[in-house]
Structure 1
Amino acid sequence: MNQALVTDVVAEVMRRLGTRNGSSSAPPSSSSSSTTAAAAADFARGRVPAGEDAPANEGKRQETAARGGPKITVPVGQHGVYGTVDQCVAAATDAQKKLARLSLDDRDAIVKLIKSIAKQNAQQWGRIELDETKIGRLDHKVEKLQILE
């Protein structure tokens, strides 16, 4: 799945939850850099290129670069991007504890938001899923996202 898409979904859920709770804070947006100096500056500001710690992503990274695509950076520790697996596990553990402390109504609201976003993006996400897995039929993948209740 595309890191930018994941970032957009997380940002949208957080924006909607913030609006619901009387806050309107939105996470910072990503910036792009194309030089080593810019990448070093990004890292110094607490930002890392998306997927940099995952060698398995190298093929896709080269493919994107060959097409002239953007190099996406995201804040370290935001939207599921961390410098190490241990940092990621610690953040996931902390997030699960916070989620468990929420009321059932709040957790229900989060689930409904995610389902709503999935319905709104059913065509695009269905295509992404089919392209990534190469399994199944597009119409089934789209329908699966559209029937979320």
Structure 2
Amino acid sequence: QKADKEELTEYTSKLLKNWDSLSAKTYCDVPAIDIILAEKYNMATANHIRTDFLVGGIKEANLDNVYLCSIFSNLLNNALEASKYCTTNPYIELKSSIQLGNLVITCRNSMPQVIRKKDDPNHNHGYGLHIIKDLSNLLSGNFVYEHDEHNFTAIVTIPINDKEEVHK
């Protein structure tokens, strides 16, 4: 959660070992990202949250998978946290694609009518958006979000790399 590359690599390795138990469903052509998406999809469906993932452009973007795993994980953790407290029509929509030389990741989710305080505000809560912003900046990208009383939308835009260059 603190964007430590070594910790993220270890986390991704653990998930890779448990791939079969997470899901046979795939979302994109990058196994590390698929594992994150499968885990979050399973969590959403267990909480009766309507979930729609349409993920493309990941492999073509040629970006560091550890950073992308952290971005996807934090986006979806935030979406799960908000949506699980919605009493009507909880949902998460996640989309990504290459647009005008950028990988664009959009996550939209429902918001609860009543904003609630975190059960344990001192336990690493509230860092997700900062991590996404920091990683977006590290990858020379941009992160914006907006919300109203019913919906939250986060958009990450990251320039894609040439095949020889990968952000490390």
TM-score (norm 2): 0.21
Larger Rg: 1
Return the structure number with greater strand share.
2
Return the structure number with greater helix share.
1
TM-score (norm 1): 0.23
